[in-house]
Amino acid sequence: MTSIDHYAVFGSPIKHSKSPRIHKIFATQTEQAIVYAAQEVTAEQFSSAVSTFFDHDGKGLNCTIPLKEIAWTYADSKTARAQTAKAVNTLIKQNDGSILGDNTDGIGLITDLINNHNINLAESRILILGAGGASRGIIGPLLEQSKHPIMIANRTIDKAVNLAAEFVHKNTVKGCGFSDLRNQQFDLIINATSLSLTGQLPPLPDDLVAKNGVCYDLAYSNEPTAFVRWGQQNNALKSLDGLGMLIEQAAEAFFIWRGIRPKTSPVIELLNAERNT
């Protein structure tokens, strides 16, 4: 009898997550016997929920808002990219029973921007809104692509400044508050705050998007998110949400867990078509 391996995504809120659907499609496409569930887990519940999952033979977990930084402290060992990010979105149970933490958010975003949307990252002046777990995961990979300094703006200014300081050896990264964005323009503005989940926006000046600039919301939704709408209203050439990144980061996690890389373009096409109907 073929045994079925168990995977899950933990987070709060988790009801909106498309990850179970995506991994189910990947499993069918690659003929892998897995189940993938979504479980509401708060920061306080994290440690005991993860231990229970792996004690009951779970093979791998994804961690989403607000758990990525706690997952980093939980993992017994980390990949280089997770170590740099100090945030983990993928946990892997290893043969010796220890838990390895990885971060596939950065590669997921970069793959979506470059392969799926033809964005020239090398020439882009990039602004990241937010300094939480997702922001941590994307800064290192974006720095590797861009020739320009990267700006991080956050409600809690100290968090943006401290996060920028962690990456300063690689290239110039600056941290600031939203009010410091006046009279500045960016070619790529990435919303890594959690505000779109509640239909809200950070306070942004109207002239922030450079000519032919692109807006990208890490959040995704069947309807355009508040930030996607803001980009459309403020002259962005493209205003995108994070569905492509979600699918690309999931494909990377699936590859780590199963050793086989699923094709992402049919899944992106399918999920986009579903939300347009």
Residues 185-214 that bind ligand NDP (CB under 6 A): 192-197, 202
Hey, which residues between 153 and 192 contact ligand NDP (CB under 6 A)? 154-156, 159, 192
End-to-end CA distance of the chain: 40
Least Cβ distance, residue 192 to ligand NDP (angstroms): 5
Could you tell me how many helices (H) and strands (E) the chain has, helices first?
10, 12
- For residues 208 and 127, the answer to whether their CB atoms sit within 8 Å is yes
C-alpha–C-alpha distance, residues 195 and 177, integer Å: 16
**Count of C-beta atoms within a 10 Å radius of residue 114:** 14
Rule CB under 6 A: which of 59-98 touch ligand NDP? 65-66, 68
Q: How far is the CB of 197 from ligand NDP (least distance, A)?
A: 5
CB under 6 A: which stretch of 23-31, 72-80, 127-135, 254-262 binds ligand NDP? 127-135
228: amino acid identity, one letter: V
* Candidate ranges 29-37, 52-60, 139-147, 244-252; the one touching ligand NDP (CB under 6 A): 244-252
Sign of CA dihedral 17, 7, 41, 96: negative
Q: Which helix (H) or strand (E) holds 109?
A: helix 105-111
Q: How far is the CB of 239 from ligand NDP (least distance, A)?
A: 15
Contact residues toward ligand NDP (CB under 6 A) are 65-66, 68, 105, 108, 130-135, 154-156, 159, 192-197, 202, 218-220, 242, 245-246, 249
